[in-house]
Amino acid sequence: MVSTLKSKAPALAVDPRTVAGLVAAAADLTLVLDADDIVRDILHTLTDLPGARLPAWIGLPVTDIVRPEQLATLRAMLRATRDGRPAKKFEIGHPLGAGRELPMQYSAVSIGANGDVALVGRDLRVVADLQSRLVASRRTAEQSGQRQRQAEAHYRLLFETAGDAMIVVDAESSKIREANPRAAALLGSDAADLAGRKVASAFDKPHQGDVQALVGAVLASGLRETVRLPAQGGRDRLSLAAELFRAGDLKLVMIRLEAAETGAGGPAGPDQRLVDLVRDATEAVLLSDEDGLVVWTNEAFLILAGLPLAAHAIGKPLETFFHWHGIDEDVLLADVRRRGRLALFSGTVRGANGQSSEVELSAVARTEGGRPSGYAFVMRPRSEEATQTPRGNSDLMRTAESLSEMIGRVPMKDLVRDTTDVIERMCIEAALKLTGDNRASAARVLGLSRQALYLKMHRFGIVDEE
């Protein structure tokens, strides 16, 4: 207990030490005010107020140590106490500086005929901290619940309206958790009736073993597995593609069903052959949406990126896996969208195991219904020769030819200066073309400051040509 009671005010009818002991037993902080509301004495047991100097309050008007918005409450309590109506349990906050505050709950007691008042307070910091934590916890829970409800609503909408026929199977029990209407229609059943059934039982008996084997193969390998079921009992031939994914602690299998248009034993249609070709290609293929989020990859890309499952790539931004050499992703995608396609440019694929692979890519802007729908990337690892030897440039080759003709007629230092100027101008023009004349982006691509780029553009007369 720290006491600064030094006043010998006649209002205290008993020994000040006795008063100090009695008050200390009931309060964390006691302020003794005179008739003019000046702090005359302080008694407190607060020892954890970093930077706060409570004794410095002595001699100050109590209004100087209270939050401005609480002055009216304080004055009303003091007035009521002096009128013989002691005030109890009113909350006052004392600013401590640096954004800190000391919240107190006071009771006011008159201690003399001359108007002196004792404010006996209880420290509310623990209560305030618990309240703030409770409010923050409730807010977080509400936000989390809202996000979860929104995510569930979005998932439900996408699942129910998806063009693909899909079944979600519990990997442990092989029971169907849910099937969308398109899958139910292909299986000749109702979606609600399929839920809870063994997935194999949803198919004709001759095919149930193949379906169960498909689920087992996915669980064993963790990779995408496919199977084709011949036509049976009036049903079209079905193609099933299964992938393993996790939802929290659950291991689930997503099975996509596709009905073939040809009869049993007939050849696969051209679209299906194309899908199979891309899926099984040795080149890595990745599809993204317009925002640069991955929507599909083939097996070759998963191997290149060191990913065990396609689910580890779906929904991730391109920058998770790619580093584009000397150019921003936004600039690259804008250039692909403007041109429609971009062939043979360099990049690096960052693997999940920390390793990186230099690749050579081509990109195509995808459209659906006449509207932009994303991008397609085809890539293969660069050969050691390609990595070490940059691709030639026709303008640069012509510069080299003219350079050889000038040897012996022009000093070497002049040749070097002129050749450097030609290369710098070519680089600036190429960067401006690549970025759609965005000078800020061109400066980043070239590794120059904007001021340095503008100076070089003026020097080569590029600004005047615009």
Determine which of 29-43, 298-312, 403-417 has the lowest per-residue pLDDT on average. Answer: 403-417
Half-sphere exposure of 381 (CA within 13 A, CB side): 12
Query: Mean of the pLDDT values across residues 359-376?
Result: 87
Q: Are 241 and 272 in contact (CB under 8 A)?
A: no
Task: Say what the pLDDT of residue 384 is.
Answer: 54
More confident position, 434 or 195: 195
The pair of three-digit structure tokens given for residue 397, joined into one six-digit string? 């080759």
| CA pair distance 158, 341, nearest whole angstrom | 30
Identify the band that residue 198 occupies on the pLDDT scale cut at 50, 70 and 90.
very high
Termini Cα distance of the chain: 80
| Angle of helix 412-434 versus helix 394-406 axis, rounded to 10 | 170
pTM of the model: 0.35
Q: What is the pLDDT of residues 42-95, one digit of tens each?
A: 888 887 776 567 888 899 999 998 988 989 989 998 988 888 888 888 888 888
Query: What integer pLDDT is reported at residue 129 of this predicted model?
Result: 81
Using 50, 70 and 90 to split pLDDT, how confident is the model at 176? very high
pLDDT at 279: 82
Contact 349, 305 (CB under 8 A): yes
The per-residue pLDDT of the chain, averaged, comes to 79
**What is the spatial distance between Cα 285 and Cα 26, in angstroms, rounded to a whole number?**
75
User: What integer pLDDT is reported at residue 10 of this predicted model?
Assistant: 46
d(CA 228, CA 236): 11
Residue 352 has pLDDT above 60, yes or no: yes
Give residue-wise pLDDT tens across range 228-275.
887 655 556 788 999 988 877 788 999 998 876 544 444 445 556 777
Distance CA 284, CA 357 (A): 12
pLDDT at 354: 75
| Residue range 283-295: mean pLDDT, rounded | 90
Q: Report which secondary-structure segment, H or E, holds 26.
A: helix 16-26
> What is the band of 14 on the pLDDT scale with cuts at 50, 70, 90?
low
| Ordered domains of the chain (ranges, CATH) | 2-123 (3.30.450.20), 162-264 (3.30.450.20), 281-391 (3.30.450.20), 393-465 (1.10.10)
Q: Residue 276: which pLDDT band, with cuts at 50, 70 and 90?
A: confident
The angle that helices 412-434 and 439-446 make with each other, rounded to 10 degrees, is 130
Q: Can you tell me which residue has the tokens 């703030």? A: 132
User: Does residue 100 surpass a pLDDT of 60?
Assistant: yes
User: Is 420:387 a contact under the CB 8 Å cutoff?
Assistant: no
- Give residue 39's pLDDT band: very low, low, confident or very high (50, 70, 90): very high
Task: List, for residues 370-420, the tens digit of each pLDDT value.
Answer: 788 899 999 988 765 444 444 445 555 556 656 665 555 556 776 677 677
Q: Note the pLDDT of residue 399.
A: 60
Identify which of 153-157, 216-220, 341-345, 437-441 has the greatest average pLDDT. 216-220
The share of the chain scoring above pLDDT 90, in percent, equals 9
Beta-bridge partner residues of 167? 179, 255
